[in-house]
Structure 1
């Protein structure tokens, strides 16, 4: 009996992450009025959150510890964002949000080391993401709008890198080609 081919869950997780990050980052960068930031909530709950949680579970089933840990963690981040923005946890301070963002930055920095032998797409996504988290976290804790805007711009670059990585896998697989993702520094 031959084993049935399974779809790669990484493009779903990367795309959910990228689109949600892109939309929120445009607000963080100050490119759109913060009065419209509620548009991110549905994305955070379902595409950034639920889709990444599902991708994480599928990565776990495939035995990919890195993919499982990354997608499940960032899916949970987006669910936290959604619930926090909805006020489910009550009054949350800017310092508290900043602390959470910095903690996710530390997690992402550690995960970034795991990309050193993967591909340039993942390497750049995680590099830009930990920088984004630190900028947004310090910006939130200090009330520094300039750091928050910088975090938004780096977040936009993060989203582009993640989207490219995920969609390169989809397009190359549909064309029967190798994904043009480049080599990570230590690969």
Structure 2
């Protein structure tokens, strides 16, 4: 008996069709958008975190804005849309949301923050970061069913947001600086996950571990 690609029996009609006219999965031609989304998130996070950690002067912070718009924002948002097409709920929500985070961050820094009263600026920034801390907290819970590499990124990101939120509300520069260092760690972990994804896909075998979870 002829069997289908999934291992089940193929119908006589399907088995007799030429290969070029047999039905294919509509997502067979779509590459994994995960490495793109992770790379876009990593680079933008790294540059901003270098400023937050004090490794780069505050005066160079505007260099983050074009990255936030076009790579961390637009490219990551596109990765999220492709994850929707591939029916990956976690990837779709994560990349779309963090892409929107970078777009909203660019808009906030460029258009909103300069016009805020000095007395309210810290609270506004703290509230913005607090909202993203809450979102990241429940995405961290979900990430443990994706892979160890992705879970490590979300855990480090959650610590980053918590520290930056506390630093913004309290005005404690040392706490915000520590958040910057955790942001750099987050970027390194995200770059590794992206690197592993693209290398494994290109070599068509597991070259670098991503530490998959138990059977889903």
TM-score of the aligned structures, taking structure 1 as reference length: 0.94
Tell me which moved more, 15-24 or 109-118: 109-118
Give distance in 2, aligned partners of 1:145 and 1:63: 42
User: Of residues 124, 128, 131 in structure 2, which corresponds to 1:100?
Assistant: 128
1:1-187 equivalences under 5 Å are 1=22, 2-3=24-25, 4-88=28-112, 90-91=115-116, 93-178=121-206, 179-184=208-213
Give distance in 2, aligned partners of 1:117 and 1:141: 33
Give distance in 1, aligned partners of 2:164 and 2:209: 31
Give distance in 1, aligned partners of 2:215 and 2:62: 41
Runs of 5+ consecutive residues of structure 1 not aligned to the other structure? none
Cα pair distance change 1:185/1:20, threshold 3 Å:
farther
- Say which SS state the counterpart of residue 114 (structure 1) adopts: helix
Shift, 1:93, TM fit: 1.3
Please tell me whether the aligned partners of residues 116 and 185 of structure 1 are also in contact (alpha carbons under 8 angstroms).
no
Give distance in 2, aligned partners of 1:50 and 1:117: 26
Shift, 1:176, TM fit: 1.1
Give distance in 1, aligned partners of 2:176 and 2:182: 10
Shift, 1:185, TM fit: 8.6
Give distance in 1, aligned partners of 2:105 and 2:78: 17
- Say which SS state the counterpart of residue 205 (structure 2) adopts: coil
Please tell me whether the aligned partners of residues 118 and 183 of structure 1 are also in contact (alpha carbons under 8 angstroms).
yes
- Say which SS state the counterpart of residue 82 (structure 2) adopts: helix
Could you say which structure has the larger radius of gyration? 2
Give distance in 1, aligned partners of 2:156 and 2:125: 20
Give distance in 2, aligned partners of 1:185 and 1:35: 46
Pairs aligned (count): 187
Between 1 and 2, higher relative CO (CA 8 Å, sep ≥ 6) is seen in 1
Give distance in 2, aligned partners of 1:183 and 1:153: 27
Aligned to 2:7: none
User: What are the Cα deviations for residues 36-89 of structure 1, in whole angstroms up to 9, with x where unaligned?
Assistant: 111100000010000111011111111111111111110111001111111257
**Cα root mean square deviation, aligned:** 1.7
- Say which SS state the counterpart of residue 38 (structure 1) adopts: helix
- Say which SS state the counterpart of residue 111 (structure 2) adopts: coil
Runs of 5+ consecutive residues of structure 2 not aligned to the other structure? 1-21
TM-score of the aligned structures, taking structure 2 as reference length: 0.82
Shift, 1:141, TM fit: 1.1
